[in-house]
Structure 1
Amino acid sequence: MGTGRSALLLDQFDRARELARVRLTGLGDDEYLWEPVPGCWSVRRRAEATTPGAYGPGDWVLDKGAPDIPAGEYAEVVRQAAAGMSVAKIAADWSVGTGRVEEILARSGPPEPDLAPVTTIAWRLGHLHSCLAGRWEWTFGDRRCPPRLLVDFTPYAATALERFWATADRWRAGLAAVTDAQLDTVGLSQYPSGSDPDDPFVDVVWETNVELVHHLAEIALLRDLWRARFGDA
């Protein structure tokens, strides 16, 4: 392992991927789609989806709610505003009104609890797949296809994993060719769902790694809960 920024970020990505491959071994369809509580977000047939922002190009879509800024991103909104980003630009990045951004900037006191819904393994894996596919397309690809149309979601665990790892490997190959100067390039990623066009690429890579570790850890916990409840059934 090298000690430069690129080498460290790649090693972090590889380590997360290695751990996840072990933890995802043997994932079956029932476990993949298991909803541990009522009201979960998941992968659903288009006709059965009830969330207002559910998306995907095919017969199966990924649940998504109305646009908002989750509590976990409040600190990032404050940082962006302090760095000079306009309220209008922050609002556009999150597809919310400027009033919502101003409300967050005016807050004081401890952070609010994040009331995001519980999500299935299918949802978490689909969300990660969509994120990696979108970032690859808008960094190394043609920068044309809307992120909402890049991933054909599936109710089958083996198919989802095969597609996810292929996309993860493609993203990793793109990162391996990035130069140190490109890491400092603002807007190297033009991924439209967020602040990528305004950020140095090193921040984008770091944030993508955080997202990968965050959701893969949640998937691992759901697998533990499934095993504790259902055993080998």
Structure 2
Amino acid sequence: MTTPARLIPLLDQFDWASERLVRRMTGPFTDSGNGTDVPATAMTDEEFRWEPVPGCWSVRRRADGPGTGATTLSGTGGWGRDTAPFPHPSPPPFTTAAWRLSHLAELLTIRADHTTGTRALTRDDYRVEGEAAGGIAAFEAGVHAWRSVLAGADDAALDTVGYCGYPYGSDPENPFLDVVWWVNQEILHHGAEIALLRDLYRVRDGLGS
């Protein structure tokens, strides 16, 4: 199938943003922004769940219960992600790299399912990963699932309102092209947040290295 011309730049952006985030978390090198590779160490479990300020939301062992301000741990499995029902706390709590990456992996996976999959997957079904390697692998699986959806989208799909029935957003009321754009900005802005958290963790003791 020929890729619609208006989808090509969004595909390129999605591919680059996803790859850059994975390389930023796994190393051994990541792109500096000007095409030069700079060293990047693999994220550890400690860094993955690092809480730089009090009251962070994160992923936690289900047996430990939710963190400050959260009412439940979403997902399934031995780990869950801090959450609370709408209306959410204001101002929103600071979230860890683990929380942000889990959020990205979940939204990609469930959106893919509600576009060309079973259209039945919920947040309660989604397995939350509590360790860095598992969290990164879950994100990569979500990227692959969503990329497969995009690869099959033609011009008619891009214009179809409700082509994606993701139940935790406005997707059912929007043309699919708008959903594609929105997912890209999720990767871009949460990816930047995770990259900044990596920098802060590296200098957390004032070592600067």
Same fold by TM-score, threshold 0.5 exceeded? yes
Q: Following TM superposition, where does structure 1 have runs of at least 4 consecutive aligned residues deviating by more than 6 angstroms?
A: none
Counterpart residue identity of residue 15, structure 2? D
Letter in 1 for 2:85: A
Return the structure number with greater strand share.
2
What is the CA deviation profile of residues 86-135 of structure 1, one whole-angstrom value per residue up to 9, with x for unaligned ones?
A: xxxxxxxxxxxxxxxxxxxxxxxxxxxx6111111100000111110110
Q: Which residue identity does 2:111 align to in structure 1?
A: R
Q: 1:153 offset after TM fit, Å? A: 1.4
Checking the alignment, whether the CA contact within 8 Å between 2:4 and 2:154 is kept in structure 1 is no
Higher RCO (C-alpha 8 Å, min separation 6) = 1
- Aligned partner of 2:154 in structure 1 is 179
Question: What is the number of residues matched between the two proteins?
Answer: 188
Structure with greater proportional helix content: 1
Task: Give the percent of matched residue pairs that are identical in Structure 1 and Structure 2.
Answer: 47
TM-score by length of 1: 0.75
The match for 1:135 is 111
Partner amino acid, structure 2, of 1:129: A
2:142 aligned with 1:167: yes
Residue of structure 2 equivalent to 1:28: 44
1:35 counterpart SS class: coil
Deviation of the 1:232 alpha carbon: 9.7
CA contact (8 A) 2:58 2:82 kept: yes
Aligned to 1:63: 82
Deviation per residue, 1:64-84 (Å, 9 max, x gap): 1221278xxxxxxxxxxxxxx
Is 2:102 the partner of 1:126? yes
Contact 1:133 1:147 in 2 (8 A): no
Instruction: Flag structure 2 segments of 5+ consecutive residues without an equivalent.
Output: 27-41
Q: Does 1:10 align with 2:26?
A: no
Separation in 2 of the partners of 1:21 and 1:218? Answer: 13
Alpha-carbon separation, structure 2, partners of 1:147 and 1:155: 16
| RMSD, matched Cα | 2.0
Match of 2:62 among 19, 33, 46: 46
- Aligned to 2:73, what secondary structure does the other structure show? coil
Q: State the Cα distance separating 1:8 from its structure 2 match.
A: 1.1
